[in-house]
Amino acid sequence: MPEYLYKDPETGEEVSIYQGINEKHKYNADGKEFERVFTVPNASIDTNIDPMSEKDFVEKTRNKKEPLAKCGMPQRRPVKKETK
């Protein structure tokens, strides 16, 4: 389950709460509704790459032992041909 941060409106203390993605993201405690805190995700990997450069892609992924999906490339799916 994802972790969400909430801030006490009186004290400013932050609490970490695990909630399901489909749940309403609200947290109440001691009769107070806490404010949700939004943070920047930690998702930058190999940020110095030109997304349009084939050369940069090859250089950044050459020695990685991961599937292409983890390197930021979508997997190709077979095209289904219609027959009449």
Tally of domains in the chain? 1
Kindly state whether residue 16 falls inside one of the protein's structural domains. Answer: yes
Residue 64 inside a domain? The answer is: no
Tokens of 46: 């190999």
Which pLDDT value is given to residue 73? 52
Domain-embedded: residue 68: no
Instruction: Output 32 or 84, whichever has higher pLDDT.
Output: 32
Mean of the per-residue pLDDT values of the chain = 78
The strand pairing partners of 15, in sequence order, are 6
In a domain, 33, yes or no: yes
Question: For residue 5, is pLDDT > 90?
Answer: yes
pLDDT of 28 > 70? The answer is yes
Give tens-digit pLDDT for 30-59. 899 999 999 877 666 656 777 788 888 788
User: What is the residue type of 25?
Assistant: H
Residue 14 lies in a domain: yes
**Domain membership flag for residue 67:** no
CA-CA-CA-CA torsion sign (39, 43, 47, 50): negative
* Structural domain containing residue 23: 3-37
